[in-house]
Structure formats: C-alpha cells, structure tokens
Structure 1
Amino acid sequence: MRIFGAMLVGLALAGCATDTARPTSERPPLIPIPTGTAGLGQVIGASAANLTAMFGAPVADVREGSARKLQFGNATCVLDAYLYPKGRDPKAGAEPVVTYLDARQTDGSPIDRASCVGALQAGRRR
C-alpha cells in the first residue's frame, strides 16, 4: 500500500511540472524597412531593365507568350512583378512593363507590396 501511495504522490507532483522552453526560430534576421520610400510608384510601369537596376538580378524569370514574371527576394519578402506589353496590340513590339505586383513574406505570410519594395531596395543598398 505504501508503494501505491508513493506512486500516487509522484504522479500528482509530475502533473504540476511545466515545460517553459520554447522552440527557437531558424528564420534569418529581417532587413529593416526604411520609412519614406517611394513605394509602388517607381515599380508599376517599370521595364525589366528598370527592375533589375532597382533590385538586382531576379531569382526567377518566367515567360509565357508576351507576358513575363520576374521574381525578386531577400530574407524579408518575395516580390512577383508581372510585365505585359503596353498598348492593345502585344505583337506591336512594345516593351513589357509592370502592370501587377504580388508580395509575401518568405514564410508565405502576407506583406504590404510597398513594404516589400522598400525591403528589397534596403537590402540592395547594403
């Protein structure tokens, strides 16, 4: 009976123990986003050459017909820039320009597009 009582007390005390250790994150440090960046105005309507000058070489360059997607990224975010020829006739030889942007954090979470543009520019200036 003594053994049973000792086991019962041991189990009761074990239930009081808590594990306060938290898993560590392996995410790389974020690049600070400067305030006062020009934002989307300098990206919408930009050519592929302009984007490369702003952000460096893209991590992906996908072409489909007259459309093109350039992807830029760093430790903070990923920016997808979709370029389409200007004008109504895509066969007229007009240079494709950015008409739409999509942005996300590196873990897939949402991020404001202008903030991502600022983070990519800040990372480029380092």
Structure 2
Amino acid sequence: MKTRLTILAAGLALAGCATTPQPIGAPTAAPARPFSTAGLERIVGKDADTLERLFGKPDADVTEGTARKLQFASDICVLDAYLYPPRGGGRPVVTYVDARQRDGSPIDRASCAAALTRRGGGR
C-alpha cells in the first residue's frame, strides 16, 4: 500500500510539471508602422529655432540626455516634436512628431501642425 501511495504521489508531482503547448501560428505583436512624414515636411529634419519661428514659443521644453522634446499646444491639439542630434554631430533636428487632441483623442499630425501655424505665433 505504501508503494502505491509513493507511485501515485510521484505521478501527481510529475503531472504538475507538464506544460501547455503553444498553438502553431500563435499571433505575435503587430509590426511597427513606418513613420510617414507626409504633410510634415516643414517640421521633420528642422531644428528648434525653425520650429519656434513656425509655431512660436513652445509650451514645454524637455531635455533628457541628448534628446529634446518641444511641445506646442493650441485650442485644437497638442504637438510633440522630438529632436535628436544627427549622426556625426550637429544641431538636434526633429526626427519624430506626435499629436493628439486636447482631450487625448487621436488627430492627424499634419492637421495639428497646420492648426498650430494659425495660432498667431504661439499665443
């Protein structure tokens, strides 16, 4: 009887080590969308001075390491421009732009940039 209990306990212990096989073709994370600069030609690749001439004084200016984020806001939207130094050195330029409506809802980046250029020089 003792042998049967030992065998049963060992079997239960081994059963707890079993893993559930992953189904073949399990979904993976969606690939990243390429960053389109359509409508953002006046922003991407430009430096901070160019952005200030275009939108006025930024509402926020955040620096972290060599990266810099300039934020411009209007009644319609908020635009974040991320500037990084180019390879080989030089003045940081915009490499990525993000935009959202004031309530956080999505908005087209080019539409937000157009709205910001009409905000009267930043205020």
TM range (shorter): 0.5 to 0.7
Aligned length: 85
Letter in 1 for 2:116: L
Q: State percent identity of aligned pairs.
A: 60
Structure richer in helix, relative to its length: 1
Distance 2:69 2:120 in 1: 20
Structure 1 residue ranges (4+ consecutive) displaced by more than 6 angstroms after TM superposition: none
Letter in 2 for 1:106: R
TM-score (norm 2): 0.65
Distance 2:49 2:56 in 1: 10
Could you say what the CA RMSD is over the residues aligned between the two structures, in angstroms?
Answer: 1.7
In structure 2, the partner of 1:42 is: 42
TM-score (norm 1): 0.64
Displacement of 1:102: 0.3
Structure 2 residue 97 is the aligned partner of structure 1 residue 101: yes
> 1:4-83 maps to which residues of 2 (within 5 A)?
39-83=39-83
Displacement of 1:122: 1.4
Secondary structure (helix, strand or coil) at the match of 2:112 reads helix
Displacement of 1:120: 0.3
Letter in 1 for 2:61: D
Letter in 1 for 2:76: T
Gaps spanning 5+ residues in structure 1: where?
1-37
Gaps spanning 5+ residues in structure 2: where?
1-37
Letter in 2 for 1:98: V
Letter in 2 for 1:74: S
Secondary structure (helix, strand or coil) at the match of 1:71 reads strand
Distance 2:39 2:73 in 1: 16
Larger relative CO (CA 8 A, sep 6+): 1 or 2? 1
